[in-house]
Amino acid sequence: MKSLYLTPILFVLTFFMTVEFDGMALAVSAMQDSQSTSDNDAGDLELGPMQKIGPPVMQILNLKFDLDRKFIFVDQKSWGELDTPVPQGVNGPPLRITADPISKLFANVRKSGGMRSSSTSVSGGRKTMKTFGADLSCGISLSGDRFELRVDELTGPGRTLEVRCAEGTRVLLTGKNTLAMLNQTDVGIMGVLIDGEKVISDSASDYYVLSKKNPELHDKLSAIFRHAGVDLPLGVDEPAVKRVALRMLGSLYSTDLTKLSVLIEQLDAAEFSTREEASQEIESLFPSFEGAILKMLKSDELSIEARNRLKIIVKRTEEAQAGDRRAVDCVKANGLLTSTGYLIDLFEIAEEQSRSLLVRHLTQTTNQNFGDDFQKWKQWWGEKGD
């Protein structure tokens, strides 16, 4: 009789175990197939407590590329004090609470992780911060140039994020059937991704060479780490890097300032449409006009209308470029503005104005002149070799 009751129970348990296994398999499969993940769209990657602290982790792990020593490091300059205004009633001035990014992360983990215990100690120049909660635990250790961070998810999906930074940097993320690692060694960078029994690994002299040698590994590591709140440096083939490279190339050349003077005059035109069109054109040419515009704003030569419009253009451009720091790092670290082959490839994405800029730059630097004929440039470079 017992077997008659146990059989349906076993069937139900087997069914739920199968569903759970399939769900995990789908999550791992999605992790393998994902090429990119935005901050607002986690895609099919597993969610968990670590997502609650993603922004402050990104703020701390401002990974940068050292152009001279050729390795990735955690930019400790970003750990300076930050001022946060707090409203204080109707008539009173706002108070400002000062906290560094690491302290903010620690407070965020305590709040988001359901804190059960917390401690901070300083001994022999070494500062240690630990917190343990229902969902998250976190340990941070600081000593001179050494920095160590460990965050554990105590509930599903149960991942662990470890970052160690001294002479080099190691970023390690482990989870269900998954290990992702970016490791700085004495001989270069090693990237490793293990999903179940599938292993993808590669090594290179530096991170940007790694991203170029093995874009599949780069994309998957970036997607997985970004989902845990870590933005890795960008690879040279990222659209943002190509866009920024064109913008930085434009800043090398001064556009005809006579044209800028005409556009500035149009900012004071009687017709609103004329003022708007002039603003839009100045904004589109801003990389070339940037130096001259900033100089004008420091003088008293501009009308109130022109000054206000130029300030709006500068502010809007700065906001648009705020997320491009990693792309700028990549362009500089890889010397992309001096890479003839890379610049030739940019013809495929360049708009009309950028194409003319590429032609001008390539003609001057190579003593060749194929106009904007991308195929001829590509053929010439292929025959010449990189």
* One-letter identity of residue 364: Q
pLDDT at residue 347 is higher than 80: yes
pLDDT at position 16: 30
pLDDT at position 95: 54
CB count in 10 Å sphere of residue 289? 26
pLDDT at position 169: 87
**Closest alpha carbon to 175 in 24, 310, 340, 36:** 24
Question: Does the global pTM surpass 0.85?
Answer: no
CA distance to 249, 334, 363, per residue, from 357 (Å): 8, 20, 10
pLDDT at residue 337 is higher than 60: yes
pLDDT at residue 269 is higher than 80: yes
CB count in 10 Å sphere of residue 269? 14
Mean pLDDT of the chain, nearest integer: 77
**Closest alpha carbon to 381 in 356, 345, 332:** 345
Which range is most confident: 17-26, 205-214, 340-349?
A: 340-349
pLDDT at residue 30 is higher than 60: no
Q: Which of 38-47, 125-134, 268-277 has the lowest mean pLDDT?
A: 38-47
Q: For a pLDDT cut of 90, what percent of the chain falls above it?
A: 15
Say if CB 335 and CB 212 are below 8 A apart: no
pLDDT at position 192: 92
What percentage of the chain's residues is helix, strand, coil (to nearest 5)? 50, 20, 25
Q: How far apart are the first and last CA of the chain?
A: 79
User: Rounded mean pLDDT of 336-340?
Assistant: 89
Residue with the larger pLDDT of the pair 70 and 370: 370
* One-letter identity of residue 285: L
286-297 vs 272-284: helix crossing angle, rounded to 10: 110
Q: Which of 56-70, 259-273, 276-290, 309-323 has the lowest mean pLDDT?
A: 56-70
List the beta bridge partners of residue 120: 129
Residue with the larger pLDDT of the pair 186 and 208: 208
Per-residue tokens: 97: 């609470």
CA distance to 122, 126, 164, 192, per residue, from 143 (Å): 10, 5, 12, 28
pLDDT at residue 91 is higher than 70: no
d(CA 11, CA 185): 51
In the chain, which ranges are E strands? Answer: 63-66, 71-74, 82-86, 95-99, 115-123, 126-133, 136-143, 146-153, 160-165, 169-175, 178-184, 189-195, 198-204
pLDDT at position 180: 92
**Closest alpha carbon to 170 in 142, 149, 144:** 149
pLDDT at position 90: 55
Q: Which of 9-13, 53-57, 326-330 has the lowest mean pLDDT?
A: 9-13
Q: How many CA atoms lie within 13 A of 376 on its CB side?
A: 9
Pairing state between β 82-86 and 95-99 = antiparallel
SS3 of residue 26 by DSSP: helix
pLDDT at position 322: 63
pLDDT at position 89: 53
Q: Which of 95-109, 212-226, 324-338, 360-374 has the lowest mean pLDDT?
A: 95-109
* One-letter identity of residue 173: L
CB count in 10 Å sphere of residue 211? 28
User: Rounded mean pLDDT of 205-226?
Assistant: 86
* DSSP secondary structure string for all residues of 122-170: EETTEEEEEEEESSEEEEEEEETTEEEEEEEESSTT--EEEEEESSSEE
pLDDT at position 344: 92
Q: Which of 14-18, 130-134, 342-346 has the lowest mean pLDDT?
A: 14-18
What are the tens digits of pLDDT across the range 117-161?
A: 888 888 888 889 899 998 899 999 988 778 899 999 988 888 999
What are the tens digits of pLDDT across the range 305-322?
A: 999 999 998 888 777 666
